[in-house]
Amino acid sequence: MKSEDDPRSENGWSRREFGQILAGLGVATGTAFGGWGILELVRPKGRATSWRKSVCRFCGVGCGVRLGLNNGVITEVRGDEEAHNKGVICIKGAMLGALPSLIGRALKPKIRKAGKLVEATWEEAMSLVANRFSDSIREFGPDSVAFYGSGQLYSEETYTANKLFKAGIGTNNVDGNPRLCMASAAVGYVQTFGNDEPPGALEDIDHAHCFFIIGANPYECHPSIFERIMQRKRSHPNTVLICVDPRRTSTADRCDLHLPLKPGTDLLLLNAMMHVIVEDRLYDRDFIDEHVRFSDGEDTVDFQALESFLRDYTPEDISPRVGLSAEIVRRTAHLFARSKGTVSLWTMGINQRVQGVHLNNTINSLHLVTGQICRPGATPLSLTGQANACGGVRDTGGLAHLLPAGRVVANEKHRREVEELWGVPRGTISPTPGLDAVNLFRAMEDGRVRATLVMCTNPAQSLPAAGRYRKAMERCFLVVAEAFEDSETARFADVLLPAALWVEKEGVFGQTDRRYQLVEKVLDPPGEARSDLEILVDLAIRLRHGDLITARTPETVWDEWRKFSETSAYNFKGITYDRLQKNRGLQWPCPNESHPGTVRRYVGGDDPLVSSGKRIEFYGQPDRRAVVYLRRYQESPEQTDDEFPFILTTGRVLEQWHTATITGRIPELQMASGPARFEFNDQDAQRMDIQDGTRLEVRSRYGTVEGAAVVTGRPRKGTIFAAFYDTKLLLNIAVADNYDAVSKQPEYKITAVSVRKTGGQ
Ligand code: SF4
């Protein structure tokens, strides 16, 4: 019963219970260990009459959860002991019980009339969408339309959208928010190993002796992974944790070594570490001789070329530019190379950079040169931001330059293979790569793209230079399939299609370490909301591509995709719905239904694609050797000057996820995070007379935002940090949209800004 003293939220949590949770997290902070499992102690229990397994979608870990149900309501949430998160979930996952009662759900289709969205039938909405797409294609060609998707769609949904647009409509304008979070990691793996996705697995955390965490804050952004790291530290106290981050994050607080480098100088640091490794002979000569090739980016070079390249990167020379002592650089290199097993973990701080691919290459290279790879506890392992960016987008080829299963649009042989597999005539797939995220919205701006379907994502808030691209959306016929009618992007919709949440439909997610999990439908979608797959099938039929999109249920699409994948190195043939229902995830390659899945790739006896008798084989490369690239450091185009003297970096907080479209509606999480604020170093704050709550205008070359300050001392002097979840701040309006030349991933992490006090607290 609700009372004034103990106001319960819609999902049954009281402030008191929530206070207990926060206290639990506080204990975790105080002991310098993770403590997410402590949520188990305070979670309400005993009301469920049945239990279903599911997956949390609030970060790329994709924790297995068990949902307790009573009369169609989620009454309890527990971490799934049998899943890869071993029962641990964080505060966001613990709040999944709020899903059925979220406010603002889109319940009926809406069409914009006289500037306002008004209710319509599905028939009216979909025939308008089909007519506008058909008109645009007929008048301006297939490249005048686009699909902008998400790492939160199911694999079956992205696969279907990709097939419809690339093989049906005839445009490669298929991109999405994974371009914004992990495109550089994907290209980095492909360049180094010949195939995308990590060689190692989360299991390596349980065997590592050294963790090199760079450009990531897993304590807040991948909590169950960080708890696994801390479990390793607790059981093996000599395990060393190194954190490289310009900001003293909650992760850095718990590490043995924090390297607070100047923003944007990571490649100087990584090359200097390589310098030390070569100079002090910390490399693994046998591993290099057997498995590695060196390249300057164009030609194969020898080890001497590497030595000569590294002369420009002595720790002493780079020290003032990076803002770290030569001694700490040398120490870090020794810890990395000499440990019995080093796991590197990184995410947006490395990927969201104009040299994101080169940074990824160089992290992979450090592992290859030292032989810290392809054995338990030794691997480079990029962390992803979304629950299905790996499986649903990278693997199914749901980006503008890709085709499914590791193929690329620009390769004629790859196009022919895909055309054959999809049963369409030769020449159907355009040889021109489509528009990546930033350039897609620029094409809306100048009228090259006239109609776009946005599905399960919120670009009006998540794109960099968002002010510019919000205006671009006004110029395009925008169809938004979205669960909430008031998301920032829904405001720009010409047609709003009510979409089901992931627990209201069925499908497969693929996470960080090539792990696929089936998510079963647990709840009915509210109102007239439909699954994104249903929407795509309807659109395909209306655009006269029903004979191409013949698989129309999640399982039949999955079976088509499994069959498609079996001729490639991305082999999911053995990962059936039936097996996924019984298991808590399977890792590919998995070529048949009796194969247990592959934990460590490129390792004989584990990876089925390694040639018989080989201990390690990088089969993705023609010569079966992984490539160590010599990558020169270049400064970011964003530099401070008299007008813009600060560097703004962006990120997330523990209690909110992405643009907070869902988590921002959960009162307890909103209460815990509060509004996003501009975090300052003490010295900068003192110099500018800024206190907690001081109102500020933060201006960049891209836009201006206003918000309040908080003085934490965590960012480096001259650096400001803010999180992008808050719709009241809309931080990305001020963020730079420079991008990596190859991956096309924008550099969110570095924007030069000015700060002006606007008065008041
Ligand atoms: S937010 Fe991430 S770490 Fe937290 S429960 Fe969900 S999947 Fe797990």
Residue 624 lies in a domain: no
- In the numeric block, the tokens 């299905």 are attached to 388
Query: HEC string of 686-706?
Result: HHHCCCCCCEEEEEECCCEEE
Provide the terminal-to-terminal Cα distance of the chain, rounded to the nearest Å: 38
- Confidence label for 714 from pLDDT (cuts 50, 70 and 90): very high
Domain boundary among 552, 570, 605: 552
Is residue 119 within a helix (H) or strand (E), and if so which, with residue range? strand 116-119
Instruction: Looking at the structure, tell me whether residues 377 and 239 fall in a common domain.
Output: yes
Distance 64 CA to ligand 1 centre (A): 9
Say whether 492 sits in a helix, a strand or coil.
helix
Average pLDDT rounded to a whole number, residues 640-654: 97
User: From the CA of 238, how far away is ligand 1's center (Å)?
Assistant: 27
Residue 685 lies in a domain: yes
Neighbouring CB atoms inside 10 A of 601's CB total 28
Q: Tell me: the pLDDT tens digits for 176-189?
A: 999 999 999 999 99
pLDDT at residue 5 is higher than 70: no
Q: Does residue 635 form part of some domain? A: no
Residue 663 CB–ligand 1 contact under 6 Å? no
Atom of ligand 1 nearest to the CA of 85: 8
Residues 415 and 324 in one domain: no
Whether ligand 1 lies within 6 angstroms of the CB of 90 is answered as yes
Q: What is the pLDDT of residues 522-579, one digit of tens each?
A: 999 999 999 999 999 999 999 999 999 999 999 999 999 999 999 999 899 999 999 9
pLDDT tier at 679, thresholds 50, 70, 90: very high
Cα(554)–Cα(571) distance, integer angstroms: 19
Residue 541: inside a domain:
yes
Sequence-distant (6+) residues with CB within 8 A of 510 are 155, 388, 390, 391, 392, 395, 516, 517
- Run of H or E residues at 242: strand 240-244
End residue of a domain, out of 384, 417, 442:
384
Read off the pLDDT band of 392 (50, 70, 90).
confident
Do 475 and 336 fall into the same domain?
no
CATH number reported for the structural domain that contains residue 523 in this entry: 3.40.50.740
Q: Which residue type sits at 288?
A: I
Q: Is the dihedral of CA 382, 385, 391, 393 positive or negative?
A: negative
CATH number at residue 658: 2.40.40.20
Nearest protein CA to atom 8 of ligand 1, as residue = 63
Would the CB of 714 count as within 6 Å of ligand 1? no
Domain span at residue 527? 132-175+398-552
The DSSP symbol for 615 reads: S
Specify the ligand 1 atom closest to the Cα of 91.
4
Please indicate, yes or no, whether residues 708 and 738 belong to a single structural domain of this protein.
yes
Helix (H, G, I), strand (E, B) or coil at 213: strand
Q: Which residues, 6 or more positions from 20, have their beta carbon under 8 angstroms from its beta carbon? A: 41, 42
In a domain, residue 537? The reply is yes
CATH code of the domain in which 61 resides: 2.20.25.90
Pairwise CA distance, residues 732 & 704, whole Å: 10
Question: What would the two tokens of residue 462 be?
Answer: 């998540």
Does residue 434 sit in the same domain as residue 546? Answer: yes
Taking 90 as the threshold, does the pLDDT of residue 45 lie above it?
A: no
| CB 715 within 8 Å of CB 724 | no
Residue 633 in any domain: the answer is no
The response to whether residue 62 sits with its C-beta less than 6 Å from ligand 1 reads: yes
154 plus 255 within the same structural domain: no
Same domain membership, residue 749 and residue 711: yes
Look at residue 1 and tell me if it is in a domain: no
What is the pLDDT, as a whole number, of residue 35? 43
CATH number, domain of 208, equals 3.40.228.10
Structure tokens at 685: 């704050």
Half-sphere exposure of 696 (CA within 13 A, CB side): 28
Number of domains in the chain: 4
In terms of domains, do 203 and 152 share one? no
**Three-class secondary structure of residue 33 per DSSP:** coil
71 with 150, same domain: the answer is: no
Task: Tell me how far apart the alpha carbons of residues 309 and 95 are, in angstroms, rounded to a whole number.
Answer: 51
Instruction: Give the other-Cβ count within 10 Å of 241's Cβ.
Output: 22
Among 38, 90, 657, name the best residue to mutate to test ligand 1's pocket (greatest count of ligand atoms within 8 A of Cβ): 90
Both 234 and 360 in one domain: the answer is yes
Residue 60 near ligand 1, beta carbon < 6 Å: no
56 lines ligand 1 (CB under 6 A): yes
**For tokens 């309040």, what's the residue?**
708
Contacts of 297 (CB under 8 A, 6+ apart): 629, 630, 631
Domain assignment present for 113: no
Q: Are residues 378 and 316 in the same domain?
A: yes
Q: pLDDT digit string (tens) for 224-280?
A: 999 999 999 999 999 999 999 999 999 999 999 999 999 999 999 999 999 999 999
* Of the residues 552, 569, 602, the one at which a domain ends: 552
Residue 444 CA to ligand 1 centre (angstroms) = 35
Same domain, 24 and 158: no
Contact 480, 149 (CB under 8 A): no
Any atom of ligand 1 within 6 Å of the Cβ of 510: no
